[in-house]
Each structure stands twice: as C-alpha cells, then as structure tokens.
Amino acid sequence: MHLVAATEEQMVQRDALTYSEWGKLLSPEEYATREKRLRAHPWSRSGMRTWLLCAGDGGVLASCETFRTGSFLRTDGGSLVPGDSFAIASVFTEERLRGHGYATRLMDLLATELELQPRTHAAILFSDVGPRIYARSGYQALPAWDWHLSPTPGDPAGPVDSLLREDGLATALGRLRHPDVPFFFWPTPAQLDWHLERGRIYARHLGCSLPASAGATAGASTILWGLVGRSPELTVLMLDARSTSEAWALLEAARREASRSGLSRVVLWEEPSHAPLLPLLKGGGTTRVARDGSLPMVRPLRPGVPVPPLLPAPRGLWV
C-alpha cells in the first residue's frame, strides 16, 4: 500500500462515493457542485490536498483531505514561533472495503508524509466516530462540550459596541488574544471565510437567511459567528471575552442575530478560557451538552510540540 496525492479527476470520483456520507440536504449534483466550490475557495487553493491510499494495483482503498492551517509554538522566553499544521478531514473508506484497517494505515502514512514538511507542527482532526480509530495513529482527544443558546428577539447591535461584517474578518481576528499555552492552532481570515462559504451554499436549502453580521465587539472583547453548515444554527467560530459583562453583551448579540436570521439556536464550543463564563451561561435558555461528533484530536508531527490538556480547539478550526 502507498499514499498518493489525488488528481482533480480522482477528487471528482471520490465526490461521487462520499455523497452518501456527507451529502445531506443536497442532490448528488448539488453535492458535486458544493465540493468543487469549496475546493475553489482561496483557503482551499492555498493549502488543500486530497490523499489516496492505494493498493499495489493502483486501486483506491481509502482517502482523506488535508488543509494547511497556522499554528504557533511558544518558546521558554515567551516568543511565538509560527509554523504549519494540518487539519485532516473527510476520512473515507467504501463500505465494501471496511474492516481491514485501511483508514489507520492511511493516517499512519499521511503522518509520515506531513512530518517531512519543513515548518510542520501538528495535525488536528474532528472525529465523528469516537477516539479509538485515530488513537491508534497517535492522536490525543480533547474535551468536547457545547453550549446551546436560544434565540432572543431584539436588535443585535443593541448590547454591543459594533457589529462586524464579513469583509472585516482580518481586523476582527487581529483583536483576539492568542491562547496562553505552549502550543496552539490559529486560523487565518480566509479559513474563517471558508466556513461562511459553506453557509452561503446551504442557506437556501435550510430556508433561513444568511446572518447580516459576522460577529461583534464589546469593549476589548470580540466574537465571530456565522451560518456555517447543514443545520440552521448560528455557530460561534471564535470568542475572546475579556470580562463577564462583555461576554454577556456578545452572546446576547449572537442570540438576537440568530432570531433575526430565523435560526434555531446559537452554538458555542466550550473552550478552557470560557471557564469564568460558565455561571453566565447556566440557565436562561442555555444548555450544556456533550458534543455529538466533531471530537477534536491532535497528533504532534515533530518532537518538542506539546499537546496541552487545555489546548483550545474553537469551531473556527473545524474542517
């Protein structure tokens, strides 16, 4: 068995096979169009590859995608060393080929390939099948809890200093504090816009409006959100709350934006930095639940890259 990078023709062939797994709400033709559109997005063009695990005769046994994403390693002196990490998505084995360990072999060979990259730090994935399969290949699971907030009527701009537009993602991302941990992943504005592109694709299928804003600021605090997938939800992509009062204002604005856009709820992925906010989140139309799928798992790709037990994995990193 060996690993190869897929051609465009091979990617299209895999699209036809993966439709049954990830084509919810779409026809096969619409799903094929979705995949081409997402691959054409600037973030994908800059660092996405599809990988195939092939048998000796060239037959494809399993496949996955990788997206180059930013990361930082903190030195003992506190300075940040930028590098490249890789988000892994769409790990797929045809049903007739399952049970032979091909996905594990794919992940092992892929790690060996990614370790050769000159600035490599780590790989991250979001498992929908639990931790066991990927733990075989050295991936460590992180905690995965969600907060669901009910929509609230009102003007989203009311409780905050300003609402953010999609064209202001770069400025907004620059306001966010880097996590105070020895290693962390960090998205780019193009990566966050890739999430919003998914929402642009799905909005008409969900019967809702695209949010008119992409987030908000309150004091020194910032939140980024969007309709990002196959569910009519306002998903928080990044949240940097400097105080409880500012956190309340940002989340209240999110709830109002969800109501204005006809969305069913706000979804916030819990992060270690949110611990002071937990009393604020309890009650009042909010629920904490164990996440259904999308379990974050991380594997270092070079010696000296730690996986902190409280490593943040915001929704903006998901693929």
pLDDT at residue number 30: 96
Q: How much is the pTM? A: 0.95
pLDDT at residue number 284: 80
Residues of the chain with pLDDT under 50: none
Q: How far is CA 289 from CA 144, 211, 227, 229, in A?
A: 9, 24, 20, 19
pLDDT at residue number 2: 96
pLDDT at residue number 280: 82
pLDDT at residue number 277: 86
pLDDT at residue number 188: 97
pLDDT at residue number 298: 98
Domains of the chain: 2-143+293-317 (3.40.630.30), 145-290 (3.40.630)
pLDDT at residue number 3: 97
pLDDT at residue number 95: 95
pLDDT at residue number 278: 83
d(CA 209, CA 121): 38
pLDDT at residue number 299: 98
**End-to-end alpha carbon distance in the chain:** 26
CA angle 316, 148, 289 (to 5 degrees): 95
